[in-house]
Amino acid sequence: MSTIIYTSNRKSKEQSLFTKNDPFITCLKSRKLLNSPTSSKQTFHICLSLQGFSPPYQEGDAVAIFPKNPKNLISSILKLLNAKGDELLKDPKTNEPAVLETYLTEKSNLSRITSTLLTLLSTCSSKNPFLKDLLTETKKSERAHYIQSHDLLTCLKDLSPLEPLDLQAFIASLPPMLPRFYSIASSLSCYPEELHLLVATFSYQVQQEIRTGVGSDFLCNRAAILETPIALYIQSNPNFSLPLDPNTPIIMIGAGTGIAPYRSFLQKRSLEQIKTRNWLIFGERNRQSDFYYEEELQDYVEKGLLTLTTAFSRDQQAKCYVQHQMTAHSKQVWEWIEQGAILYVCGDAEHMAKDVQKTLIDILHKEGGYSLEDAAQFLQKLRKEKRYQTDVY
């Protein structure tokens, strides 16, 4: 099998920046499952080709990837629509020709439905009375709940059988496929022709049916190595970046795939001619099965480039998270802050990031002698000075 490298059709320097509307087309070079068989998770190291890619990017930036919907889902939807898939339509946004199956695969968000879609289906569904009632002004909350609890497939199943409908109006009623954003897990300085990602798969339930994350499933399971075209562009993240001065100490706090940008930070700093001060506080479930990039990190430790503190939550009876390790090392955290360290937090916004922020305030109160109110204000001051940077999702 020959290697296929996809590149842009650009011919001028003025067109050198890839964008959402003009993405770079590449392919998957390799992927590797990083968890052991005993893990309850599946997290993959993804390597994409950058051959033919010229715009620079910085450590801390993200990549936006346009995934494709799975074939079995498209087939089920086409069957419910009584469509073949080869129907020639027009892209509602560009007015360019669009084949129905291709449009559903690449341009449509099939995990959501809209009121516009329900209005359209009310003209051709066997449940016309139900829909007409659901669409009345007095049923806003019920309609919102229906939309929230269904995706396109479960909606079409629920409202079948359907009479023939206007397929052009149908695709116009669908929300667009949006890019998925991933922190870049490699430094361009170390890997000029590759871009690395750390991607965890996940699943969820819709009306008793199991769905997988579109972006993660596409990258981790469905994209064929060296074959499937993958569209991407770089999303700059100037509020999550390394300091210009390599002598500035940094504390990197994160859990799970939140370690991704820190890998790029460490790769970049490993190229410096001086021994920089870097401290990583990393959390996951089990050391034996979920310690991503362990050999690489331990090599940095042995070379004196990294101070590494881990929190594996399920390795002992009492749960241990990154905030607990911060508390256990509160004196050192405060000393690093006093010495000008920049704090980074990457990962889950709902729980981890909030717990880390609360813990930082407690450390400033305990070790720095601030009142809790002044500690919170001091943390805000650090944020304004870009000494407290977060990349949470």
Residue 18 lies in a domain: yes
Q: Does the residue 341 lie in any domain?
A: yes
The pLDDT assigned to 17 comes to 77
pLDDT tens, position by position, 58-105: 999 999 999 999 999 999 999 999 999 999 999 999 999 999 999 999
Asked if 195 and 304 sit in the same domain, the reply is: no
- Tokens 């516009």 — which residue? 116
157 vs 209: CA distance, rounded Å: 12
pLDDT recorded at residue 273: 79
**pLDDT at site 15:** 40
Q: Is residue 5 part of a domain?
A: no
Structural domain boundaries, residue 340:
250-392
SS3 labels along 54-119: CCCCCCCCEEEEECCCCHHHHHHHHHHHCCCCCCEEECCCCCCEEEHHHHHHHCECCCCCCHHHHH
List the CATH number of the domain containing 25: 2.40.30.10
Cis geometry, peptide bond prior to residue 175 (ω within 30 degrees of 0): no
| CATH, residue 110 | 1.20.990.10
In a domain, 319, yes or no: yes
Same domain for 331 and 385: yes
263 in the same domain as 181: no
* Tokens, residue 254: 């994160």
The total number of structural domains in the chain stands at 3
Evaluate whether residue 299 is within a structural domain: yes
* Sheet containing 307-312, strands listed edge to edge, beginning at the edge strand earlier in sequence: 307-312, 278-284, 250-255, 342-347, 388-392
Do residues 200 and 256 make contact, with C-beta atoms less than 8 angstroms apart? yes
343 with 365, same domain: the answer is: yes
Question: Are 63 and 191 members of one domain?
Answer: yes
Same domain, 76 and 61: no
Query: CA-based angle 274:275:278, to the nearest 5?
Result: 135
Output the domain CATH number for residue 284. Answer: 3.40.50.80
**207 lies in some domain:** yes
Please give the Cα distance from 333 to 363 (Å, whole number). Answer: 8
Distances (CA, A) of 265 to 38, 231, 311: 30, 25, 20
* 278 and 368 fall within a common domain: yes
Q: Quick one: 161 and 201 in the same domain?
A: no
Q: Which pLDDT value is given to residue 277?
A: 95
**In angstroms, rounded to a whole number, what is the distance separating the alpha carbons of residues 111 and 346?**
26
Domain boundary among 136, 156, 172: 172
**Nearest-angstrom CA–CA distance, 40 and 27:** 28
pLDDT at 233: 96
Chain centroid to CA 230: how far?
A: 15
- Give pLDDT, residue 9: 38
Do 63 and 185 lie in one domain? The reply is yes
Of 136, 157, 172, the residue that ends a domain is: 172
| Residue numbers in the chain where pLDDT is lower than 50 | 1-15
4 located within any domain: no
Please give the pLDDT value at position 5: 40
Say what the pLDDT of residue 8 is.
Answer: 39
Structure tokens at 18: 């890839």
Under 8 Å between Cβ of 308 and 280? yes
**Which residue, 210, 235, 260, sits at the end of a domain?**
235
In this structure, are 357 and 265 located in the same domain? yes
153 token code pair:
């497939």
Contact 150, 118 (CB under 8 A): no
My answer on whether 293 and 327 are in the same domain is yes
The verdict on 102 and 63 lying in the same domain is no
Cα–Cα distance measured from residue 34 to residue 41, given in angstroms and rounded to the nearest whole number:
10
Residue 193 domain-assigned (yes or no): yes
β-pairing, 250-255 vs 278-284, is: parallel
